[in-house]
Amino acid sequence: MTARIGVVTFPGTLDDRDTQRAVRVAGAEAVPLWHRDKDLKQVDAVVLPGGFSYGDYLRAGAISRFSPVMESVIEQAKAGMPVLGICNGFQVLTETHLLPGAMLRNNHLHFICRDQKLRVETNSTAWTADYETGQEISIPLKNIDGRYVADERTLDMLEAEGRVAFRYLDVNPNGSLRDIAGITNEAGNVVGLMPHPEHAVEPLVGTGRTDGLGFFTSILKNLVGAR
Amino acid sequence: MTLDTVKNAEQTPEAGQPWADLGLKPDEYERIREILGRRPTGAELAMYSVMWSEHCSYKSSKVHLKQFGEKVPANDAMLVGIGENAGVVDVGQGYAVTFKVESHNHPSYIEPYQGAATGVGGIVRDILAMGARPVAVVDPLRFGAADHPDTKRVLPGVVAGIGGYGNCLGLPNIGGEVVFDSCYQGNPLVNAGCIGVMKHEDIHLAKASGTGNKVILYGARTGGDGIGGVSVLASETFEAADPDGVTANRPAVQVGDPFQEKLLIECTLEIFKENLVAGIQDLGGAGLSCATSELASAGSGGMRVDLDTVPLRDSTLSPEEILMSESQERMCAVVEPGKVDRFMEICEKWDVIATVIGEVTEGERLEIFWHGEQIVDVPPRTVAHEGPVYQRPYARPTWQDALQADDANKLPRPANATELRDQVLKLIASPNQASKAWITDQYDRFVQGNTILAQPEDAGMVRVDEDTNLGVAMATDGNGRYAKLDPYAGAQLALAESYRNVAASGAKPLAISNCLNFGSPEDPDVMWQFAEATRGLADACLQLGTPVTGGNVSLYNQTGETAIHPTPVVAVLGVIDDVTRRTPIAFKEEGQLLYLLGETHEEFGGSAWSQVVHDHLGGLPPKVDLERERLLAEILISASRDGMIDAAHDLSDGGLIQAVVESCLRGGTGARLVVPDDLDAFTFLLSESAGRAVVSVPRSEELRFTDMCGARGLPATRIGVVDGTVSDANAVVEVQGEFALPLEELRTAHTQTIPGLFA
């Protein structure tokens, strides 16, 4: 039996079906989870996909953190279950304080969609084990509220503990502090990033590269290996 | 104020009514009185005024649009034709595709962000109402002069509105156009297109049948926004640059909520999946007036609506305002009584408000009540489908001959290689020819994970089936400058270019939609342009075998007495059996051979060169040869399917050099070009002859490819090679014996113009 990976759909989630596809392409089973339902259906890991949950009218991710499904996700994440937040999912994770910091509007104030080069800064997380530390990858970035900020003390702590998981290369697309594109929690089971690995898993579509597939194969190996 | 009931209208036949303020003409008001045998109530007057507006009734264009239904090519693909929310074509493997382009020009000038945003919302609901999942959007845009201060107000707002709305719906934006011309200064063109995919059996139609079936309004609450949008805004002429007019008309622009629309999409698709609706219609222009009258008119029975059950954002709205409101994100469904509970459950799941507002009745009347009192009693067909039809007078403009005599081929040409080089560089950097990445990067092109090609490719392409790799492609094109010189040829050139673009991507053109943007139909010059353009387009569709599945007409695009260039925009939909065979525009492999397909003549009328270098518009547009276009398309599709070409780019505005530079920049390579013996360098590089494309051929395929072109009679001229490996810092685009331009210099020139103007 392969790993069961839950993909949460909030109202306004956009990349849920893409994420389910990425999970399947990697060889795992995708399990749709509904925002109103506390039941995580015995999944082994959860992905919070991109979009504009609840319209993001108050602040990106601010409403979603109070949804019934997130009660269970927070509880399980604290108990060690792997959780990946992509874009809006990353915003939700910072709102829940599973990850530190916050996302502000891009410094140029525009939505930006581009093929973004990143450096994987650590492969010691549940979602990056299949990459080499220092590996450069290109995956799509698309957001308007993507500027990662935190206070200096938090940023220093993240750097010192090796918890900056991804850094923007070539271009910092939104003014994120210290070029941070994604981070991990202390245990390495909760990871959040703004770019979209689920849009880079097939050679034919999107950017035509499969640099994002490693996220999903990493978790699969992590889970199957743990059995 | 007392309620103007039907009874009241009967008793007060001479009461004064504001028909003129609502945009109705005296004879139209008289006709309403004749139809009803009494004066209309306030609510009836409101309905007729919006439904008989130019925007909804097509009263000036109808007599010309008829041709699209008469000159229909034999084409098995057509499943649903003109008249529904959108046309539907068969793309094989049990899939059907619906697509359409609409205008949101006037609101986008008044309030760029909301105008453009709700334009996206409206076209997406049209596609959804056919039963399809929307899978991609495109946006053909036209603005005033790039350096005009008001363009700086309009363009960023429009772009942010399209992005802000479309990005929140999770629809990849895969194509479109951005054109600048001072003729659009007071009247930008904001057209929006959408593609939807469904299985054949999922096609839904807008009709209300089955006595006792419930009429359910679902989606957003109704508010006071967009009242009179179609009649006051979209069907009148703006006065010259009137800032007060902008402010005064702002409440007529709708305000969008993309989050609500996203819920509406998912909710509606789930409702379709369980087969819960007998008929469905989106609410767009003319709001409830349109939805109720069209559903009732197309169905077999009548309809009763209790208007006071409509959920409101503003409880003080009058019944007339509720009927005219164009509040967004609303749909109207006709549901069998036994299915209402399940319908409501699904709406509740998606947090979508749904209300039974009426039911289908016996008889043939549309009856609307307000707290038990009847305020509307009309035959729905007279509102929805039997509005006024005008035979507007038209005549060839007196200035047309002089315009055509002002031959662009006689303009001074570059005297030497240095001048030619400088003009090419100026062209590449000009706002119309420059990269639009700053704009299109504000749109999500990756969402849904099926995007095969997106701008700046010739056509957008999405995968329809993950297992079989079936895909569809779409391109939109239009050239107002060509159409001004000759509207008949201009419309055909718009079709030809769009058709060529789809074929260059490797897809087979199947059918078209159009968005016809013109000035005031009350001007005989404009009406002539319209008559010529529709005739040209219908003739060309017949010859190319691509039926018109539907479309949209936008008239009154003018400022004071000055109309925009006639601007027919054509969207061609194509199908590709295997998206892995698609052809991108990028030149990638060093040493591959560049072939120019088609024939190059001295054709500079309406060209980008004549505009950029001489600020000139005159002469004749490029000659149209539809048989050549068809042959070129067949060659491009065959070559793509059989792996004979690695890149293809259609030639249009800016000519060969524009296409070669774009393909080089896309691939990161250089190119070395040789001027053919029978052409001078200037004509070779900058002429805009139609029916041409440039392709990159692997050396191993050269013989097979040239044999195919030779056997089928398509001129193919070897014009050079791809030079320099990908990302070679020293790559150049060289025209032998003339000049060489470093790729990096071209990239800077091409990419910095638009951000320089608008960032």
B488 within some domain: no
Q: Which of A12, A14, A113 lies at the smallest CB-CB distance from B441?
A: A113
Average pLDDT over residues B449-460: 97
Best A13, A14, A35, A216 member to test B by mutation, with max B CBs in 10 Å, is A14
Q: Which of B145-159, B274-288, B332-346, B734-748 has the lowest mean pLDDT?
A: B274-288
Active site residue B55: yes
Best A106, A110, A216 member to test B by mutation, with max B CBs in 10 Å, is A110
Which structural domain, as residue segments, surrounds residue B601? 583-759
On the question of pLDDT at B293 being above 70, the answer is: yes
How many alpha carbons lie under 13 Å from residue B205 in its C-beta half-sphere? 15
Query: What is the signed CA dihedral for B158, B554, B135, A11, rounded to 10 degrees?
Result: 60
Q: Which of B168, B440, B579 lies at the smallest CB-CB distance from A52?
A: B168
Give the helix ranges, DSSP H, for A28-113: 68-78, 88-95
B262: contact with A, CB 8 A cutoff: yes
Dihedral (CA of B589, B593, B598, B604) sign: positive
On the question of pLDDT at B240 being above 60, the answer is: no
Edge-to-edge, what's the strand order for the sheet holding B173-180? B78-80, B87-92, B95-103, B189-199, B133-143, B173-180
Residue type for position B431: P
Q: How confident is the model at residue B156 (pLDDT cuts 50, 70, 90)?
A: very high
pLDDT digits (tens, 9 = 90+) for B679-724: 999 999 999 999 999 999 999 999 999 999 999 999 999 999 999 8
Q: What is the largest CA-CA distance in chain A?
A: 47
On the question of pLDDT at B29 being above 90, the answer is: yes
Q: Give bridge partners of residue B368 from the DSSP assignment.
A: B305, B376
On the question of pLDDT at B552 being above 90, the answer is: yes
Average pLDDT over residues B316-329: 91
Report whether B107 contacts B118 (CB < 8 A).
yes
pLDDT given at position B224: 86
Q: Which residues of B touch A198 (CB under 8 A)?
A: 449
Q: How confident is the model at residue B134 (pLDDT cuts 50, 70, 90)?
A: very high
pLDDT digits (tens, 9 = 90+) for B86-107: 889 999 999 999 999 999 999 9
Q: Which residues of B touch A111 (CB under 8 A)?
A: 160, 163-164, 167, 442-444
> Left if phi > 0, otherwise alpha if psi is -120 to 50, otherwise beta: which for B449?
left
* Cα A64 to Cα A91: distance, rounded to the nearest angstrom: 10
pLDDT given at position B1: 60
pLDDT given at position A58: 84
Report whether B662 contacts B456 (CB < 8 A).
yes
Report whether B57 contacts B46 (CB < 8 A).
no
On the question of pLDDT at B251 being above 90, the answer is: no
pLDDT given at position B245: 47
The three-class DSSP label of residue B80 is: strand
Select which of A35, A95, A121, A198 is catalytic: A198
Q: What's the angle, vertex CA B651, arms to CA B646 and CA B653, rounded to 5?
A: 145
On the question of pLDDT at B83 being above 90, the answer is: no
pLDDT given at position B71: 87
Average pLDDT over residues B465-481: 97
Residue type for position A190: V
**Which tokens go with A116?**
């973004």
Q: How confident is the model at residue B119 (pLDDT cuts 50, 70, 90)?
A: very high
The closest alpha carbon to A77, from A105, A99, A110, belongs to: A99
Which chain B residue's Cα is nearest to A56?
Answer: B259
> Token pair 């009847």 is at which residue?
B374
Burial B219-255, CB ≥16 within 10 A → b, else e: bbbbbbbbbbbbbbbbbbbbeeeeeebeeebebbbbb
Average pLDDT over residues B34-62: 93
pLDDT given at position B244: 47
pTM score, whole prediction = 0.95
Indicate yes or no: CB of B446 within 8 angstroms of CB of A111.
no
Query: What is the number of domains present in chain B?
Result: 1
Q: How confident is the model at residue B38 (pLDDT cuts 50, 70, 90)?
A: very high
Indicate yes or no: CB of A51 within 8 angstroms of CB of B445.
no
Indicate yes or no: CB of B170 within 8 angstroms of CB of A51.
yes
Q: Counting every residue, how long is chain B?
A: 759
DSSP code per residue over A1-25: ---EEEEEE-TTB-SHHHHHHHHHH
Q: Which of A18, A51, A108 lies at the smallest CB-CB distance from B449?
A: A18
pLDDT given at position B149: 96
pLDDT digits (tens, 9 = 90+) for B505-527: 999 999 999 999 999 999 999 99
**Which tokens go with A174?**
């939104």
pLDDT digits (tens, 9 = 90+) for B56-73: 899 999 999 999 988 888
Q: Which residues of B touch A204 (CB under 8 A)?
A: 452, 463, 469, 579-580
| CA–CA min distance A15, chain B (Å) | 6
B580: contact with A, CB 8 A cutoff: yes
pLDDT given at position B231: 65
Q: Give the DSSP letter of residue B233.
A: I
B26 within some domain: no
Q: Which residues of A touch B442 (CB under 8 A)?
A: 110-113
Beta strands A164-168 and A180-184: pairing type?
A: antiparallel
Which chain B residue's Cα is nearest to A51?
Answer: B168
Q: Which of B68-72, B153-157, B217-221 has the lowest mean pLDDT?
A: B68-72
How many alpha carbons lie under 13 Å from residue B498 in its C-beta half-sphere? 35
Average pLDDT over residues B193-214: 89
Contacts of B373 (CB under 8 A, 6+ apart): B3, B5, B7
Average pLDDT over residues B436-457: 96
Select which of A35, A95, A121, A196 is catalytic: A196
pLDDT digits (tens, 9 = 90+) for B606-629: 999 999 999 999 999 999 999 999
* Cα B728 to Cα B742: distance, rounded to the nearest angstrom: 11
The CATH number of the domain holding residue B742 is 3.90.650.10
Contacts of B467 (CB under 8 A, 6+ apart): none
Q: Which residues of A touch B265 (CB under 8 A)?
A: none
Domain A4-226 top-level CATH class:
alpha beta
**Which tokens go with B712?**
């089928």
Q: Which residues of B touch A206 (CB under 8 A)?
A: 446, 449, 451
Q: Which of A54, A142, A205 lies at the smallest CB-CB distance from B450?
A: A205
Q: Which of A127-131, B1-5, B541-545 has the lowest mean pLDDT?
A: B1-5
Q: How confident is the model at residue B243 (pLDDT cuts 50, 70, 90)?
A: very low
Select which of B55, B565, B616, B750 is catalytic: B55
| CA–CA min distance B171, chain A (Å) | 9
Residue percentage of chain B with pLDDT more than 70: 96
Indicate yes or no: CB of B442 within 8 angstroms of CB of A196.
no
Indicate yes or no: CB of A204 within 8 angstroms of CB of B446.
no
Report whether A186 contacts A154 (CB < 8 A).
no
Select which of A87, A95, A121, A199 is catalytic: A87
pLDDT given at position A208: 86
Report whether A113 contacts B445 (CB < 8 A).
yes
* φ, ψ (nearest 5 deg) of residue B555: -110, 180
| CA–CA min distance B620, chain A (Å) | 40
Indicate yes or no: CB of B451 within 8 angstroms of CB of A17.
no
Edge-to-edge, what's the strand order for the sheet holding B739-742? B647-650, B693-697, B593-597, B716-723, B670-673, B732-735, B739-742
Residue type for position A81: M
Average pLDDT over residues B368-384: 95
B237 within some domain: no
Q: How confident is the model at residue B204 (pLDDT cuts 50, 70, 90)?
A: confident
Residue percentage of chain B with pLDDT more than 90: 86
Q: How confident is the model at residue B209 (pLDDT cuts 50, 70, 90)?
A: confident
pLDDT given at position B241: 40
Average pLDDT over residues B490-517: 98
Average pLDDT over residues B16-40: 94
pLDDT given at position A61: 87
pLDDT digits (tens, 9 = 90+) for A169-215: 999 999 999 999 999 999 999 999 999 999 999 999 988 899 999 99
DSSP code per residue over B252-313: GS----HHHHHHHHHHHHHHHHTT--SEEEEEBTBHHHHHHHHHHHHSSSEEEEEGGGS-BS
Q: What's the angle, vertex CA B698, arms to CA B695 and CA B702, rounded to 5?
A: 85
Q: Which of B164, B167, B351 lies at the smallest CB-CB distance from A11?
A: B351
The closest alpha carbon to B565, from B493, B512, B625, belongs to: B493
| CA–CA min distance A203, chain B (Å) | 10
Indicate yes or no: CB of A55 within 8 angstroms of CB of B445.
no
Contacts of B114 (CB under 8 A, 6+ apart): B107, B161, B253, B254, B255, B256
Beta strands A45-48 and B279-283: pairing type?
A: unpaired
**Which tokens go with B192?**
């929006």
Domain boundaries of chain A, sorted by first residue: 4-226
* Cα A161 to Cα A100: distance, rounded to the nearest angstrom: 13
Indicate yes or no: CB of A205 within 8 angstroms of CB of B452.
yes
**Which tokens go with B8?**
């009241």
pLDDT given at position B250: 53
